[in-house]
A = this chain, B = another copy of it.
Amino acid sequence: MAAPASEVAAPDVSAALVRDAAAVEAVLEELLPEPKGRHARVLDAMRYATFAGGKRLRPYLTVAGARLFGVPEARALRAAAAIEVLHTYSLVHDDLPCMDDDDLRRGRPTTHRQFDEATAVLAGDGLLTIAFEILADPATHPSGDVRARLVSRLAKAAGGEGMIGGQMMDMQSAEHDYDKDEIILLQRMKTGALFEFSAEAGAILAEAGDEHQVRLRSFARDFGLAFQIADDLIDLTGAAETAGKAVGKDEAQGKATLVSIWGIDGARAESRRLADSAAEVLSPYGPAADELRALPYFLLDRTA
C-alpha cells in the first residue's frame, strides 16, 4: 500500500524533475541542428518550440525508468530527448489555427504566432522526423534490434492508432457526445500512449524483457490518466498564469472531460486511486522506484 501523498517526498520529485530536465536539455541542445543557411528559419522554429521550459515529464519517465535497470545515462537521455521532441511537435501542430488555435503556450507566443503558420507546420514535421533519427542512431544503443524496436514502438504510440488518432477524436469531441469510456480511450490514445512508451523505453534500452515493459507501461497508463485529470482540473479551476496557457477552454468548446463526468471531488478520488495503482505496479523494484512512484502523487498535489 502506497503512503499518502503528504508522506511521500514530493519536494524530491520536483527537484528530480528539474535535475533530469537540465540533463535532457543539454542533450537536446546538441541534437537539434544549429540554424544556418537559407532554411535556418525552420531550424530556428524547431528550437524555439523545444526550448520553452516545460516540466519534461516524458523524458523524466524514460530516464527514471532506465535507472531501474542500470541503463547508461547517455543512452537514456538520447531516448528521452527523442520523446520530448516528438511531444513538442504534437504541441506545435495542436496549437495551429486549424486545430486548437492557441496563441499562448507556456506563457509565450505559440510557434505559429512567433513565426508563421507554414513555418510551424514544417517545424512540427521536422521535430517528428528528428525523433526517429535520434532513436535510430547507433549512439542511442549498440544493438540495431533495440534501436529498431524503439522506433517501432514510438511510431505506434504517436501514430494513427495512438496520439494522432486521439487528437482526431479530440477535434470531433464538440460534435460527438463522448461517454466516459470514449473519453478514457481518447486520453489513452492522445496522451497515454506516449506516456506508456516513455516509461517502457527504459526497459527496452535495458533489454529487460516483456514483463518489465508491460509493468512500466501499466504504471504509465495509470499515471497518464491521473495526469489528464490533473490537467482538466487545472483547466477548470486554474488561472492562465499558473497553467501558462489559456484555461477554461474545454468548457467553452463544449468538450466533455473526465472531470465533467465525475465532478471535481470524484475526479480527485479517481486520481488518488490511479496513483495508488501506479505505485503498486512498481513494487517489485523496491525503494529504487520511490522517486517514480511519488510522481503521480506530486501531480495530484499540484491540483489541490
Contacts and interface: CB of A to CB of B under 8 A. Distances in A.
A22 to B, nearest CB: 24
Interface string A120-149: 011011101110110111100001111111
B133 A121 contact: no
A267 interface: no
Given A38-B182, A46-B160, A130-B160, A167 B122 contact: yes
Contacts of A33: 160-161
A43 interface: yes
- Tally of this chain's copies: 2
Contacts of A81: none
A152 B144 CA distance: 11
A39 interface: yes
A218 interface: no
A226 to B, nearest CB: 23
A119 interface: yes
A49 to B, nearest CB: 12
B39 A168 contact: yes
Contacts of A182: 38
Contacts of A99: 118, 121
Given A136-B151, A148-B136, A126 B39 contact: no
Contacts of A117: 98
Contacts of A145: 144
A132 B118 contact: no
A128 B148 CA distance: 16
Contacts of A46: 160
B125 A152 contact: no
Nearest to A46: B160
Contact of A38 (B146, B164, B169): B169
A144 B169 CA distance: 34
Given A39-B165, A129-B160, A136-B155, 14 more contacts: A37-B165, A38-B169, A38-B172, A42-B160, A42-B165, A43-B165, A46-B160, A118-B171, A125-B128, A129-B164, A133-B151, A133-B159, A144-B144, A144-B146
Interface of A: 33, 37-39, 41-43, 46, 89, 93, 96, 98-99, 116-119, 121-122, 124-126, 128-130, 132-133, 135-138, 143-149, 151-152, 155-156, 158-161, 164-169, 171-172, 176, 178, 182, 185-186, 189
